[in-house]
């Protein structure tokens, strides 16, 4: 995704979609601007952040405070549902100490056990190079330089779900992530009954009950382009996107 943003900044590409959590950084580091927002099934422009566990696990967790030292699967640092909301929630309601106001990777490292949060060691989130690799311990990338980055198999919401299946104890996902993937070809033999939601009050609910058991509402993905694109051309792009989705 960072490579895509760089290409847009260099005007070698025109459009890409960004998670709501990445829109700010897209503007700050790559001079990108949003020109459209994704509409989800039903016409909604938002989804819900949820915490998913395998059914019957984490019997010792009855409140968010007891997530300390658990193995977590994040979609990636800067993803809204997969990092920003969970970390913010745990700081407010789960006893996560703020270790460094300017680097929440350190706070998460101090709180969780071995986990996977891709990009936690990139320059942007490890500016002085002193982050621990604890949040990369569960990542499994084999490509040189690809482990614990966007190239890691555990990157993104799909990757975080796979991480939960293979290595982790809790995954921070979109409310529809599990259902989308177990209905596809990648995760045959699984059903929604194999998983449950961990609510903020420590209780569990079925995956379908995300409305009373979510960690927050998240704006849907944005379509962005370079700020160098003229307003006239942005209008053309917006009309193209609207026609393309009709």
Q: Using 50 as the pLDDT threshold, list the residues of the chain that sit under it.
A: none
CATH number of 46-219: 3.40.190.10
pLDDT given at position 245: 73
Does domain 1-38+221-243 match CATH 1.10.287.130?
no
Predicted local distance difference test score (pLDDT) of residue 164 = 97
Residues of the chain with CATH 3.40.190.10: 1-38+221-243, 46-219
Burial (CB count within 10 angstroms: exposed 0-12, middle 13-18, buried 19+), residue 19: buried
pLDDT for 201 = 97
The residues near 213 (Cβ < 8 Å, ≥ 6 apart) are 50, 197, 198, 199, 200, 203, 205
Gyration radius (Cα) of the chain, Å: 18
**pTM for the full predicted model:** 0.92
What is the pLDDT, as a whole number, of residue 185? 60
Alpha helices in 170-230 (DSSP H): 177-182
């Amino acid at each position: 995704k960072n490579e895509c943003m760089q290409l847009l900044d260099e005007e070698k590409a025109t459009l890409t979609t960004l998670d709501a959590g990445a829109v700010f950084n897209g503007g700050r580091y790559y001079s990108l601007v949003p020109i459209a927002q994704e509409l989800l099934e039903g016409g909604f422009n938002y989804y819900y952040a949820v915490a998913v566990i395998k059914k019957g696990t984490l019997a010792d967790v009855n409140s968010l405070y007891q997530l300390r030292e658990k193995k977590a699967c994040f979609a990636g640092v800067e993803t809204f549902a997969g990092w920003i909301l969970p970390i913010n929630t745990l700081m407010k309601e789960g006893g996560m100490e703020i270790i460094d106001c300017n680097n929440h990777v350190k706070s998460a490292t101090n709180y969780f056990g071995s986990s996977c949060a891709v990009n936690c060691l990139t320059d942007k989130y490890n500016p002085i190079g002193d982050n621990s690799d604890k949040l990369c311990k569960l990542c499994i990338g084999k490509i040189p330089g690809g482990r614990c980055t966007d190239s890691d198999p555990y990157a993104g919401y799909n990757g975080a779900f796979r991480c939960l299946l293979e290595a982790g104890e809790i995954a921070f996902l979109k409310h529809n992530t599990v259902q989308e993937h177990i209905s596809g070809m990648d995760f045959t033999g699984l059903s929604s009954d194999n998983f449950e939601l961990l609510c903020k009050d420590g209780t569990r609910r079925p995956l379908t009950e995300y409305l009373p058991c979510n960690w927050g509402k998240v704006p849907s993905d944005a379509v962005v382009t370079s700020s160098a694109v003229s307003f006239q051309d942005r209008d053309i792009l917006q009309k193209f996107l609207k026609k393309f989705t009709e």
